[in-house]
């Protein structure tokens, strides 16, 4: 893989990570309702799911999802159900109430944040479709195993880094106060 090709991959992965969607909402939710650490835990767990799909794609396994519509539908419906469950849970939580204990990074809270981050990416089969379209431009029969790992690692690092930046920026005191005032909608 040439440097130009890799930089092209970096650009496309960056744009994919930066596009708003359910992943961003989950990172914001855990940053606002938990802490910076909760947001970063969500970010890197999400990146693990992205890395998983990237690996599956560069090594050819994501094609299974596209060739077996029932499997694709199963993952799609599981993802939709999970998003609905997160939405109901968020609406039932009500308005944010400052609680110093809630803002501390408890093990259970971090585990919940990581679970939500991983699930929001793993249960989104459209990510596999994105990577199939993306990596078809970069992976060839001649691509070596290290090149394939580099492509998957690139997607993983960019995703985790982007959402970590989001968590760090949103956890600044002035920004966090605004979000917490409207936190029940996040």
Q: Which residues of 40-72 are buried (b: 16+ CB within 10 A; e: fewer)?
A: bbbbbbbbbbbbbbbbbbbeeebeebeeeeeeb
Among 162, 126, 144, which Cα is nearest to 44's? 162
Burial of 151 (0-12, 13-18, 19+ CB in 10 A): buried
Boundaries of every domain in the chain: 21-185
What pLDDT score was predicted for residue 170? 92
Residue 105 has pLDDT above 70, yes or no: no
User: What are the pLDDT digits (tens) for 113-170?
Assistant: 999 999 999 888 778 778 878 887 888 777 888 998 999 999 999 999 999 999 999 9
Q: How confident is the model at residue 106 (pLDDT cuts 50, 70, 90)?
A: very low
* Backbone phi and psi for residue 20, each to the nearest 5 degrees, phi listed first: -70, 150
Phi/psi-derived region of residue 23, left when phi > 0, alpha when psi is between -120 and 50, beta in every other case: alpha
Distance CA 144, CA 134 (A): 17
pLDDT, tens only, 2-13: 999 999 999 999
The rounded radius of gyration (Å) of the Cα atoms in the chain is 18
C-beta of residue 164 within 8 angstroms of C-beta of residue 25: no
Q: Where are the alpha helices (DSSP H) in 68-170?
A: 69-93, 100-103, 107-122, 126-135, 145-170
Burial of 86 (0-12, 13-18, 19+ CB in 10 A): middle
Give dist(CA 40, CA 18) in Å, integer: 15
* Long-range CB contacts for residues 142-145, cutoff 8 Å, separation at least 24: 143/1, 143/58
Any idea what DSSP says for residue 183? G
CB atoms within 10 A of CB 178: 11
- Given a cut of 80, whether residue 99 has pLDDT beyond it is no
């Amino acid at each position: 893989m040439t440097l130009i090709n890799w930089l092209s991959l970096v650009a496309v992965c960056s744009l994919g990570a930066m596009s708003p969607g359910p992943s961003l909402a989950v990172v914001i939710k855990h940053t606002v309702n938990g802490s910076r650490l909760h947001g970063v835990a969500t970010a890197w767990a999400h990146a693990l799911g992205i890395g998983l799909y990237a690996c599956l794609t560069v090594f050819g396994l994501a094609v299974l999802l596209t060739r077996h519509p029932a499997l694709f539908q199963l993952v799609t419906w599981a993802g939709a159900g999970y998003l609905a469950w997160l939405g109901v849970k968020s609406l039932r939580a009500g308005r944010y109430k400052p609680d110093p204990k809630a803002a501390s990074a408890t093990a259970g809270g971090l585990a919940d944040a990581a679970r939500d981050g991983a699930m929001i990416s793993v249960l989104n089969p459209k990510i596999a479709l994105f990577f199939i379209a993306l990596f078809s431009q970069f992976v060839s029969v001649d691509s070596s195993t290290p090149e394939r790992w580099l492509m998957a690692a690139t997607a993983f690092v960019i995703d985790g880094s982007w959402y970590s930046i989001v968590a760090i920026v949103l956890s600044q005191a002035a920004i966090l106060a605004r979000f917490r005032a409207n936190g029940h909608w996040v």
